[in-house]
A and B are shown apart, each in its own frame.
Chain A
Amino acid sequence: MAHLSLRGVGKTYAGGTSAAVSGIDIEIADGEFIVLVGPSGCGKSTLLRMVAGLETISTGEVRIGDRVVNQLDPAERDIAMVFQNYALYPHMSVRDNMAYGLKNRGQSKAVIAERVAEAARMLELGPYLDRKPRALSGGQRQRVAMGRAIVRQPAAFLFDEPLSNLDAKLRVSMRMEIRKLQKRLGTTSLYVTHDQLEAMTLADRLVVLNGGRVEQIGAPLEIYRKPASTFVASFIGAPAMSLLDAHVEGGAITLEDHALARIGNPAGPVILGLRAEDIRIADHGIPMAVEHVEELGAQRIVHGTIGGQPLAVIDTGEAAVQDAVLVSIDPDRLHLFDTATGRRIEKHLHPTPEPAL
């Protein structure tokens, strides 16, 4: 068990002109579950691999516990890693797969047997201990990979997209298992995924990465409710937050000539962010042309445009959606972003906002 800290961590590949990852500062408390999330190529795996010691660290410092581990071999860093393709040793039984790391560390046979048995019990792998990985299903292999990490009792778990190779249903149940297991063991964890849903459901705190830099760090709900930039806004949440060009004029925010709310921000163009669930189809409001409807059962997502700008609305109604509808927007829930930088702008609603049109 240990805290983990990354200070100014960066990576430039040999021959590469620009940094793949740069200036990452993250402090991770003991027992915390941190998820690194971002689109492919954002450097999240590189970052994880630098913590693991599989990539050299170009700049900055990684500490596990109180040790700076920059120069240490992966085996000396007291970490365990779960890989996307499991990376089980195909010629070894499940038992040997789990025991291999301990054996190399010179643990006694008794300790190894005990830890393997304990991990197998926790992961319900008991009946499979003498099987080879190829005789296991994807979910079971994933569990063996977890087991291999658990038996080591490391200071930190590192997960590199561990659920990507599983089918959707299994992914959801494994997700919960990983979370339960981590809570129970209380081991600091760093988890990489490109799946924002996985990120939201697993994390104590999320680190959203884009282009090798941190866009935002925070609790999942905090990030969902207050995205720091248009990138975060569109990446976290499904359907993605709709981003529309709007203006602040005469003390009100207007979208395609419809005033939405009275607002104290300086006049000028802004990007208006709207979550699909913060918009309702109503009898009054702004006209929206409906383009297509995704039926999800409990609700449906209505995609349409306002003055040519795309927008998604969640509707829970029963009646069929017309071609043209009126939508109303909750002024408390709208997000504003700078048109140039894409960063979030705090909105200054007037104390007594007029009801939205």
Chain B
Amino acid sequence: MMQKVKPLDHLILILGTLFLMAPVVMALMSSTHDPVDIHSNGLYFTPGSNGAATYGKVLTHKGGFTGDVTGMTMLMNSMIMGIGFAVGKVVLSMMAAYALVYFRFRFATLLFWMIFTTLLLPLEVRIMPSYQVMSKLGLLNSYTGLIVPLLASATGTFFFRQFFRSVPDEMLEAARIDGAGPFKFFIDILVPLSRTMMAAIFIIMFIYGWNQYLWPLLMTTDESFYTLMRGIKSILQVWIGSQIPDYNEAFALAVLAMIPPVAVVVIFQRMFIKGLTESDK
């Protein structure tokens, strides 16, 4: 396995890493400078002296029109979005896939492909009708309205379906002989077996939910539902007259917005890889 160290390969890897890391480092460093400096000198690669103050302000300063949205609120909202999305999508797509794979419906395959193709259409295509439905249901400006309409997941259903199909039939038969009904089989056997799959879908969906911009923008007018993504945008929108936007705060928010997805990937990746290498069905 161990081969001779190839300097060229390493050079390419190092360059690639630098290339990908540079913007992140730049954002982090710039966030510790004064906005006026950033405006006049451009972005920084060196740490400044304003770090603690900026981050403190971003997290606790009450902003917005109503004056009571802090960075913490936005972080909280983004968390609710991300986790609600991820958990909801995992649960819903697992149940859908379970039904599709293990219960004999007429036209199950046809139904599956119908679900699949319609859900492959991006949110933007159905955003007006979805908005209309939510508005009629009175769910604007609520977490339910933010999360529920986007829970059905073609990708998730598809992945879980493929995974369930790869579980040997004997497992089901053994469970049936062991007296496990459909519910027990799902909870006791399939869910634990799908752990790695769940982790993978969770990562993808958390980031998807975390990064949502358009949908929250449409669904919520109440500032207490602001997510980080909207917060960043609103900081940069203050360009009135000669006022300099708070670049440092925008960068600080961006850095903060990066932490949870990175944490999720780091935490679940371990489980994900462990599952992949030790897989034994």
- List residues of A whose CB falls within 8 A of some B CB: 52-54, 73-75, 79-81, 83-85, 87-92, 100-101, 104-105, 133-134, 148
Within B162-194, the residues touching A (CB, 8 Å) are 168, 170-171, 173-180, 184, 188-189, 192-193
B180: chain A residues at CB < 8 Å are: 75, 100, 104
B170 & A100 in contact (Cβ 8 Å cutoff): no
A144 CB, nearest partner CB in chain B, Å: 12
Cross-chain pairs A/B with CB under 8 angstroms, 16 sampled: A52-B173, A53-B176, A75-B179, A80-B177, A81-B174, A83-B170, A83-B174, A87-B170, A87-B171, A87-B173, A89-B171, A90-B193, A100-B175, A100-B178, A100-B188, A133-B280
CB nearest neighbor in B for A134: B280
What is the CA–CA distance of A89 and B170 in the complex, to the nearest angstrom? 10
B174: chain A residues at CB < 8 Å are: 81, 83, 87-89, 148
Say whether B281 faces chain A, with CB atoms less than 8 Å apart.
Answer: yes
A91 & B278 in contact (Cβ 8 Å cutoff): no
What is the CA–CA distance of A323 and B174 in the complex, to the nearest angstrom? 56
B253 CB, nearest partner CB in chain A, Å: 41
What is the CA–CA distance of A79 and B177 in the complex, to the nearest angstrom? 8
What is the CA–CA distance of A79 and B179 in the complex, to the nearest angstrom? 11
- Additional A-B contact list (18), CB under 8 Å, known A53-B177, A74-B176, A75-B180: A52-B177, A54-B176, A81-B173, A85-B168, A85-B170, A87-B170, A89-B174, A89-B175, A90-B280, A91-B195, A92-B192, A100-B175, A100-B188, A101-B177, A104-B179, A105-B179, A134-B280, A148-B178
A278 CB, nearest partner CB in chain B, Å: 42
Most buried by B among A54, A81, A89, A148: A89
Given contacts A83-B170, A85-B168, A104-B184, contact A74 B193 (CB under 8 A): no
What is the CA–CA distance of A52 and B175 in the complex, to the nearest angstrom? 12
- Size of the B side of the interface (Cβ < 8 Å), in residues, is 20
What is the CA–CA distance of A79 and B174 in the complex, to the nearest angstrom? 11
A133: chain B residues at CB < 8 Å are: 280
If over half of B's interface residues share one DSSP class (helix, strand or loop), that class is named, otherwise mixed; here it is: helix
What is the CA–CA distance of A100 and B188 in the complex, to the nearest angstrom? 9
What is the CA–CA distance of A70 and B160 in the complex, to the nearest angstrom? 34
A100: chain B residues at CB < 8 Å are: 175, 178, 180, 188
What is the CA–CA distance of A75 and B185 in the complex, to the nearest angstrom? 13
B59 CB, nearest partner CB in chain A, Å: 41
What is the CA–CA distance of A74 and B173 in the complex, to the nearest angstrom? 9
CB nearest neighbor in B for A133: B280
What is the CA–CA distance of A101 and B180 in the complex, to the nearest angstrom? 8
What is the CA–CA distance of A117 and B189 in the complex, to the nearest angstrom? 23
B155 CB, nearest partner CB in chain A, Å: 24
Given contacts A87-B170, A90-B280, A104-B184, contact A75 B176 (CB under 8 A): yes
A76 CB, nearest partner CB in chain B, Å: 8
In the A-B complex, the 4 residue pairs with the closest CB atoms? A87-B170, A101-B178, A75-B179, A104-B179
B4 CB, nearest partner CB in chain A, Å: 34
Determine which of B177, B188, B192 lies in contact with A81 in the assembled complex, contact meaning CB atoms within 8 Å.
B177
Determine which of A52, A75, A85 lies in contact with B178 in the assembled complex, contact meaning CB atoms within 8 Å.
A75
What is the CA–CA distance of A84 and B180 in the complex, to the nearest angstrom? 20
B184: chain A residues at CB < 8 Å are: 104
What is the CA–CA distance of A148 and B170 in the complex, to the nearest angstrom? 14
Given contacts A85-B170, A87-B170, A90-B193, contact A73 B176 (CB under 8 A): yes
What is the CA–CA distance of A100 and B280 in the complex, to the nearest angstrom? 19
What is the CA–CA distance of A101 and B179 in the complex, to the nearest angstrom? 6
CB nearest neighbor in B for A96: B188
B177 & A74 in contact (Cβ 8 Å cutoff): yes
A87 & B179 in contact (Cβ 8 Å cutoff): no
A54 & B188 in contact (Cβ 8 Å cutoff): no
A54: chain B residues at CB < 8 Å are: 173, 176-177
CB nearest neighbor in A for B195: A91
A88: chain B residues at CB < 8 Å are: 174
A81: chain B residues at CB < 8 Å are: 173-174, 177
A83 & B176 in contact (Cβ 8 Å cutoff): no
What is the CA–CA distance of A310 and B192 in the complex, to the nearest angstrom? 57
A336 CB, nearest partner CB in chain B, Å: 44
Q: What mask results when residues 214 to 241 of chain B are scored 1 for a CB within 8 Å of chain A, else 0? A: 0000000000000000000000000000
What is the CA–CA distance of A85 and B281 in the complex, to the nearest angstrom? 10
What is the CA–CA distance of A92 and B177 in the complex, to the nearest angstrom? 17
CB nearest neighbor in A for B193: A91
A83 & B188 in contact (Cβ 8 Å cutoff): no
